[in-house]
Amino acid sequence: DTGVSQDPRHKITKRGQNVTFRCDPISEHNRLYWYRQTLGQGPEFLTYFQNEAQLEKSRLLSDRFSAERPKGSFSTLEIQRTEQGDSAMYLCASSYLTSTDTQYFGPGTRLTVL
């Protein structure tokens, strides 16, 4: 299977701890997106990369959040000093820059902050 993969699938942490998530996109895709989804809501855009450049960040992305995509391949999303409000599903998606720009999603990382 060559879809989008995310690791870990589940993460439980205590408030104040730092966490890091990894996303591996579909290999030929040059765009990579991060979303956050809470129960009963649709995904909310956080940030996206085109190759290694981070082109846009949502106002939802506070200073405690940082994302990287070194060498334009996999990406990491780090949350520092986690808060209970950070508990959510973090989704990664990738696309190939064309007129269609269809985004394909990974299985997500479920974060629970105690």
Partner 1 sequence: EDQVTQSPEALRLQEGESSSLNCSYTVSGLRGLFWYRQDPGKGPEFLFTLYSAGEEKEKERLKATLTKKESFLHITAPKPEDSATYLCAAFPYGQNFVFGPGTRLSVLP
**From the CB of 77, what's the least distance to partner 1, in Å?**
15
Amino acid at 73: S
**Contact characters 28-47, partner 1, x per CB under 8 A:** -----x------xxxxxx--
Nearest CB to partner 1, comparing residues 27 and 99: 99
The answer to whether residue 75 forms part of the interface with partner 1 (CB under 8 A) is no
Phi-psi region of 101 (alpha: psi -120 to 50; beta: other; left: phi over 0): left
**From the CB of 52, what's the least distance to partner 1, in Å?**
18
The answer to whether residue 74 forms part of the interface with partner 1 (CB under 8 A) is no
**From the CB of 99, what's the least distance to partner 1, in Å?**
8
The answer to whether residue 56 forms part of the interface with partner 1 (CB under 8 A) is yes
The answer to whether residue 72 forms part of the interface with partner 1 (CB under 8 A) is no
Length of the chain: 114
Rg over alpha carbons for the chain, rounded to the nearest Å, is 13
∠ Cα 52 110 113 (to 5°): 105
Token couple for 26: 């579909």
Name, in order, each residue with C-beta under 8 angstroms of 64's C-beta and a sequence gap of 6 or more: 79, 80, 81, 82, 83
- For partner 1, the binding residues (CB under 8 A) are 4, 6, 33, 40-45, 48, 56, 91, 93, 100-108, 110
